[in-house]
Amino acid sequence: MKFTIKRETLLRPLQLVTGVVERRQTLPVLANLLIRADVDGISLTGTDLEVEMVARCATEVEQPGEITMPARKMADIWRALPDGSEVSVSVEGDKAVIRSGRSRFTLATLPAMDFPKVEGGEADTSATLDQGEMRSMIDKVAFAMAQQDVRIFLNGMLLEIGGEYIRAVATDGHRMAMCTRRCESEVAQGSVKQAIVPRKAVLELGRLLDEEKQDLTLMLGNNHLRVTRGPFTLTTKLVDGQFPDYDKVVPKDTGRVLSGDRDALKQGFQRASILSNEKYRGVRLVISPEQLVIQANNPEQEEAEETVAVAFNDEQLEIGFNVSYLLDVLNVLDSDGVRFSVSDANSSALLESPDDDDALYVVMPMRL
């Protein structure tokens, strides 16, 4: 195998594919990338047996072939080479040689036949949407996914595809984020297809997508999801389990509504949180018709109090929340204002942007 390629052409694909490779492996070959060279160019494949990413690059191939090379060492070499470099890669015996200018690197290899493949199976549902829309959905909900929860179905994001929409939902049992976008799909009107995408695949997909206008294709099977964007393909196994019924979590009877400036509220919560309990992060909200008082204290009996001007359509209400959960929501909202709806001090709050009904957030209260 032998090919020559510009450093910049392969740098981003190499970084993206290497991102899938775990730092600790059960098999030595999982620390490597599978590199295939043929008449159409080269392809790079990285996997951890759950998630697989393939990147294709057009380049001149002198000698077709396939081999596996150490992922992180190759990415580090590529990053360290000067801009504009022309790089040649060849296989000599059981070693791979990378040459560029006056630099020469010899890397150990493993046979391509040892490299595992994530079995995709048959896809029975497909959907197409702009990659920027999908990136925006992930940005708006991914923070609410659980991490290492014993309920494995919470360590991921629910993807729901309907006739003309796609919806992403994430929850860790204390808060929930939901975002909906329009898409073209093969799902019949009135029926839906649901899948739980594992946390790692969601984060890698977020890294893969950007704001550039380009179609993204999702192929959904019974136990896998395949996402294709231009020369990149990400395939992931799905999480087995039943995701909570998100519709039951969304508060319906929320007559009390607080409206305020998102930035002012965010800064108020950030300052008050400095003196909140480091473990529980609780703050008390005292809401009255024209102002919100945010109160925090900690075991050292230190106290913080912030007053923010708001509009509230009811009499005074006191309610407690984990301040980190509120800040997470305010960080992903991109509107100037925020609408905060609640029925009483013991019920979950609904947070939304007043200009955008595509996304909504539910946060459970705390007893203080």
pLDDT per position in the chain (368 positions), as tens? 999 999 999 999 999 999 999 998 889 999 999 999 999 999 999 999 999 999 999 999 999 999 999 999 999 999 999 999 999 999 999 999 999 999 999 999 999 999 998 877 788 899 999 999 999 999 999 999 999 999 999 999 999 999 899 999 999 999 999 999 999 898 888 889 999 999 999 999 999 998 788 999 999 998 999 999 999 999 999 999 999 999 999 998 888 999 999 999 999 999 999 999 999 999 999 999 999 999 999 999 999 999 999 999 999 999 999 999 999 999 999 999 999 999 999 999 999 999 888 999 999 999 88
- Of the candidates 71, 60, 74, the one whose C-alpha atom is nearest the C-alpha of residue 31 is 71
List strands edge to edge, sheet with 103-108. Answer: 60-63, 2-6, 86-92, 95-100, 103-108
How many CA atoms lie less than 13 Å away from 56 in the CB half-sphere?
12
Q: CATH topology for 251-363?
A: DNA Polymerase III; Chain A, domain 2 (3.10.150)
Can 2-114 and 251-363 be said to share one CATH topology?
Answer: yes
Domain parsing of the chain, residue ranges:
2-114, 123-248, 251-363
CATH number of 123-248: 3.10.150.10
The secondary element (H helix, E strand) that includes residue 98 is strand 95-100
Residue range 2-114 forms a domain whose CATH class is alpha beta
Tokens for 225, please give them.
């999801």
